[in-house]
Amino acid sequence: MKQITRNEFESSVSRNTVLFGSIDRPGIMLTPDGDIVKCFYQRKRITRSALFPPAKRFAANSRELARKDIIAPMVTETLSCPEVPVDMVVYPKIEGEEIRDLCAAGDFSVLGDFAAYLAELHLKGIYFRAIHLGNVLSFEASAMALIDIADLKSHRMPLSLFARARNLAHLFERDDDKVFFRQYGIEKFLQEYFQRADLSRFTQMLLRWQLRNAIEILTITSQG
């Protein structure tokens, strides 16, 4: 990880466009060359992230996802500014629209593609902890890409039933996205997922049972 000074960091901020955060504490920036700079601010207290910083996890996950042919940010550089302190990853911007934005515009059909895409991730052993409709991009030919990839785990085998249920429940319980799943239909979404997930009927039943609380909340709220 290349180290830079505070002056170099501040000079970079002044040249770039802040997409998220503020000029005093940028979170995501766009460079004049079209690259994304994502900032991870270090905490003073000792945590797990201090042992394996988010910027390093992001870069490692970038390589792992590329190895599994999953579209995601391709990190070209990692930087650290101990004086701030902040770590950064740099990668070419992925052109696409957030699934959440497409749903907000009334295009719920994208959720069918997303269900199949999520099943594909699970088949490839990817557990994306930060799963929500704002962290997945959609672009041409129903292709999709993950963003904000610091928090995921890659397994050599397809995800277990428990891991699938936990990941799906987390997705369904996100307040920002509940309304979209209700309008699309939670049953329809699950059917799209099962068509790609390569699960037996019995395993599908078990997965539904593990998701019963999340499904019930969505169903009751939509009926109310």
Is there a single domain that holds both residue 104 and residue 49? no
Is there a single domain that holds both residue 214 and residue 109? yes
Is there a single domain that holds both residue 14 and residue 85? yes
Is there a single domain that holds both residue 105 and residue 205? yes
Is there a single domain that holds both residue 77 and residue 104? no
Query: Given 60, 92, 124, which residue is the final one in a domain?
Result: 92
pLDDT score at 47:
58
> How many structural domains are present in the chain?
2
Cβ-contact 88, 165 below 8 angstroms? no
Is there a single domain that holds both residue 127 and residue 164? yes
Q: How far is CA 157 from CA 22, 74, 103, 124, 152, in A?
A: 41, 23, 32, 7, 15
pLDDT score at 43:
78
**What are the pLDDT tens digits along the chain (224 aa)?**
899 999 999 999 999 999 999 999 999 999 999 999 999 998 765 555 556 799 999 999 999 999 999 999 999 999 999 999 999 999 999 999 999 999 999 999 999 999 999 999 999 999 999 999 999 999 987 899 999 999 999 999 999 999 999 999 999 988 899 999 999 999 999 999 999 999 999 999 999 999 988 888 777 655 55
Is there a single domain that holds both residue 122 and residue 205? yes
**211 closest CA partner among 175, 141, 160, 162:** 162
Q: What residue type is 15 in one-letter code? A: R
Is there a single domain that holds both residue 163 and residue 205? yes
DSSP assignment string, 134-195? TSEEE-GGG-EEE--TTSEEE-SSPPPHHHHHHHHHHHHT-TTTHHHHHHH-HHHHHHHHHH
CATH number of the domain where residue 122 is located: 1.10.510
Q: How far is CA 204 from CA 22, 171, 190, 207, in A?
A: 45, 18, 9, 5
pLDDT score at 48:
58
Q: How far apart are CA 177 and CA 134, in angstroms?
A: 9
Q: How far apart are CA 192 and CA 186, in angstroms?
A: 10
Instruction: Give, to the nearest 10 degrees, the angle between helix 186-197 and helix 212-223.
Output: 150
Is there a single domain that holds both residue 175 and residue 84? no
CATH number of the domain where residue 19 is located: 3.30.200
Is there a single domain that holds both residue 51 and residue 111? no
Query: Given 41, 67, 92, which residue is the final one in a domain?
Result: 92
The whole domain housing 74 covers 2-92
pLDDT score at 45:
59
pLDDT score at 223:
53
How, if at all, do strands 86-92 and 97-98 pair? unpaired
Q: How far apart are CA 109 and CA 103, in angstroms?
A: 8
Is there a single domain that holds both residue 121 and residue 209? yes
